[in-house]
Structure 1
Amino acid sequence: MTPLFTWLAIAGGGFVLGLLHFGGLWLSLRLLRQRTRPALWLLASSGLRIAVSLGGLWWLMAGAPLRLLAALGGFILARWLLSQRLGGLQPQDSRP
């Protein structure tokens, strides 16, 4: 592979990890009110998202700190794009 393609692939992998992480966070928060044990739901969701994200970043890094920076760039880009696309959670009306 050419060096440019390698760096783009690493950044793309970070982007996919970011989509999984922040998309999973968004989905978890959307489904939170439907859960009978919301604390357990958030704990399990956070643990799974963090484990997948850290494991994926570790694999993409392959021992080279500059590769980690490229992957984190894609990760942060995914966060920015999802926040632009999905927006925040709107507060729900708490009146009965």
Structure 2
Amino acid sequence: MNDPLPMMLSFGAGLLLGAVFFGGLWWTIRKGLNSPRPALLFLGSAVLRMGVVVSGFYFVANGQWQRLLACMAGFIIARLAVTWLIRGKQKEEHHAPES
């Protein structure tokens, strides 16, 4: 475990998995509010997002807890980044134009 490359790649994979998971959640919420079948959309999205993330964690970890930990750290950082980006976008949408 002296090689930093697998840890950096695991962290990057965690960032990608987090972006897919939380970006997909944001998309699902936005689309689900106007959907004729929101329960089906939310359930399908949850199953798909969790399947992708759990599979990703499994393959990235490759039986090594250090890689799993690096991937989880990237996942959490991606959550913070997506939350920050969405809040900024919502502020822009609700901001009244100045006269």
Per the normalisation by structure 1, the TM-score is 0.86
Runs of 5+ unmatched residues, structure 1 = 91-96
Distance 1:71 1:56 in 2: 9
Residue 24 of structure 1 is matched in structure 2 by 24
Q: Is the 8 A contact 2:17 2:56 kept in 1?
A: yes
Per-residue CA distance 1:63-89 (angstroms, 9 max, x = gap): 01111100000000000011111129x
Paired residues in the alignment total 89
Q: After the TM superposition, which segments of 4 or more aligned residues of structure 1 sit over 3 Å from their partners? A: none
- RMSD, aligned α-carbons: 1.8
**Shift of residue 34, structure 1, vs aligned partner:** 2.1
Alpha-carbon distance between aligned partners in 1 of 2:46 and 2:87, rounded to the nearest angstrom: 20
Question: Following the alignment from structure 1 to structure 2, what is the Cα–Cα distance between the partners of residues 62 and 6?
Answer: 11
The answer to whether the aligner puts 1:40 opposite 2:40 as a matched pair is yes
